[in-house]
Structure 1
Amino acid sequence: MEQLIKSIDYIFNGKLKLLTRFSTTGVINTLIDFLVFTICNSVFNIYYTISQVIGYSFGVINSFIFNKKWTFEKNSSNKRISHELTQFIAVNLISLIITLFLIKYLVSYFNLNVYVAKIIVTLIAQVINFILYKFWVFN
């Protein structure tokens, strides 16, 4: 049991700390996004692109808090929080536009199930977000 605890500590606080924390935060954001997307799309019959905007927005709120405070550990920064938040929103608007375009493209032209398309575009957005968060927003 002690070895398991040391292994978990190493993963979250060792050499893989940043990637592990970003991934964990991403999973939580994705769960929130998918839950809200599914409720909007399946329960309330809101068109999938609008459901994507709503779900993504809920994930973004969680993402800013966890990425700032835990993943990149920026409790204090030389940047004002308003500047950091503006950059964060800009990154997520870029990701949102890309995901909206790609989800529409995958559903319309490849006839993919909307949830399969959502999984694909979510993975693409995570790569874009990580790079821009690390080198621009939370640097």
Structure 2
Amino acid sequence: MKLVVKVNSYIFNGKFKHLSRFSMIGVINTIIDFTVFTIFHSLFGVSYVFSQGLGYGLGVVNSFLLNKKWTFADRRANKRSFYEFLQFVVVNLISLIITMIAMSLLVQNLNLNVYIAKVLVTVIAQVTNFLGYKLWVFN
């Protein structure tokens, strides 16, 4: 049991704190993103590109709040928070554009299933976002 506590402490509070917390929040964001995407695309028949934007957008709001407060432990509520939010939005807009282009290419040019394409572009978005948040937004 002590080993589990030590490993848990090392991962979530040690060297891998940012990455492990970011990953956990990423799972939550992905659930939000996929749920909204599926509801709008499959149930309401909205195009996959527009559904991608909606799902991604709701994940972004959740991501900013949780990453700011928990992953990067930024508790400041001032003008800097507004600037961070703008930086956060820029990183996510870049990531969204990349994912929308990649999804279109995968679906239209490679005839990939839209949900397989969604999984692939989600991985691309995670890498882009982590680097942007760590190096620019919450630095």
Q: TM-score, normalised by structure 1?
A: 0.94
Aligned to 1:83: 83
Query: Shift in Å at residue 81 of structure 1?
Result: 1.3
What pairs up with 1:124-139 in 2 under 5 angstroms? 124-139=124-139
Letter in 1 for 2:53: V
Report the identity percentage. Answer: 58
Aligned mates of 2:83, 2:17 — CA distance in 1: 26
Give structure 2 stretches of 5+ with no counterpart. none
Aligned to 2:65: 65
Give structure 1 stretches of 5+ with no counterpart. none
Letter in 1 for 2:30: T
Query: Shift in Å at residue 93 of structure 1?
Result: 0.6
Deviations 1:3-37 (A, max 9, x none): 32332222111121111011111111111100110
Letter in 1 for 2:71: T
Deviations 1:13-64 (A, max 9, x none): 1121111011111111111100110111111111100100000011001100
How many residue pairs get aligned? The number is: 139
Letter in 2 for 1:127: V
What pairs up with 1:38-49 in 2 under 5 angstroms? 38-49=38-49
SS in structure 1 of the partner of residue 73 of structure 2: coil
Query: Shift in Å at residue 79 of structure 1?
Result: 5.7
